[in-house]
Amino acid sequence: MINLRKISEENFIDAFNLKLGHGQDKFVSHPIRSLAQAYVYRDQCQPFGIYDDDIMVGYVMVIYDYDIPEYNIWHMMIDEKHQGKGYGKAALEQILAYISTKPFGNSIRVTLTCNKDNKTALALYRNIGFIETGVVDDDEIELTLDISM
């Protein structure tokens, strides 16, 4: 069963051991970088391990932007050995459920960016209901979802 667990001193090494597939490093940062960012932004973010029972199969971080305000999904990745099994969709649904509890502040907007060449991730986000905002930064496309319903 897919579940999210907060990254802690008990499981951060498991996040470090996750591997991206060949060429995927241009699409997403490794959890080592993301966890460094989580430390800097610790008052407004939560990193999670994505688990299948007790095995970490992926990683994702939720961050709240107090200036806008909105929630952002950063650095979502599934380990290369576990891709194509539906973990990304299941995890994304749980992340959105977590965000809907408004853990850092009130907002109905969830934003993420995705490399324009990452067709698999773009299809997943669009199928969940994310829409492109028209904002493009280098190769990254911004997508947003209204969770007011």
Q: What confidence tens digit (pLDDT) does each residue in 36-78 have?
A: 888 898 899 999 999 999 999 999 999 999 999 999 999 899 9
CA nearest to 131, candidates 147, 65, 64: 147
Fold of 2-146: Aminopeptidase (3.40.630)
Cut 0.85: pTM above it = yes
Query: Domain limits of the chain?
Result: 2-146
Q: What is the rounded end-to-end Cα distance, in angstroms, of the chain?
A: 26
pLDDT grade for 25, boundaries at 50, 70 and 90: confident
In 3D space, the residue among 137, 77, 144, 74 whose CA is nearest the CA of residue 107 turns out to be: 144
